[in-house]
Amino acid sequence: MTIEELKESIRCVPDFPSKGIMFRDLTTLIKNGEALKDMGKLLADLYKGKGVTKVVGIESRGFIGGSILAYELGCGFVPARKPGKLPAVTIKKAYAKEYGVDTIELHSDAISSDDVVVLHDDLLATGGTMRACYELVKSMNPKKIYINFIVELEALNGRAVLPDDCEVTSLLKF
């Protein structure tokens, strides 16, 4: 499938979760085997030859594309989770959200200084969660960090809060 066909496979749901929001529902893309396969290959093409050793997927929808990306690249997958979900010693980062504070955690041994990491989430809106994940991974001193999304909502300008020192890519832009 082409990029345009992948975009067309995403359902738009008006006024969800609240009035005035146009929700981009990726479940219609991922339920289509051909679209899911092509999405995975297109994501991997962005990072082939860059020495990626780990993909960090952000809970929960980042687990889907992140796992596929790690599989396609032949590297490890690391889940970035909400508090209390990981069984071993963790490090964490709190961050502000529109209505309060949230926290993201990684196992303390998930990333090493030898790793080249892709941080992955399904959608870039305001960028706060990804920024927190970036700061958490950066504190573990990997060789390099890349940031990746399946979908970017350009009008929300989420890239503005992301770091200038790393490449940010989005497969589909709305």
By annotation, the residues acting in catalysis are: 61, 98
The two beta strands, 90-97 and 100-107, are antiparallel
Structure tokens at 135: 């700061």
Nearest to 106 by CA among 73, 82, 130: 82
CA distance linking residue 67 with residue 104, whole number of Å = 18
What is the Cα Rg of the chain in Å?
16
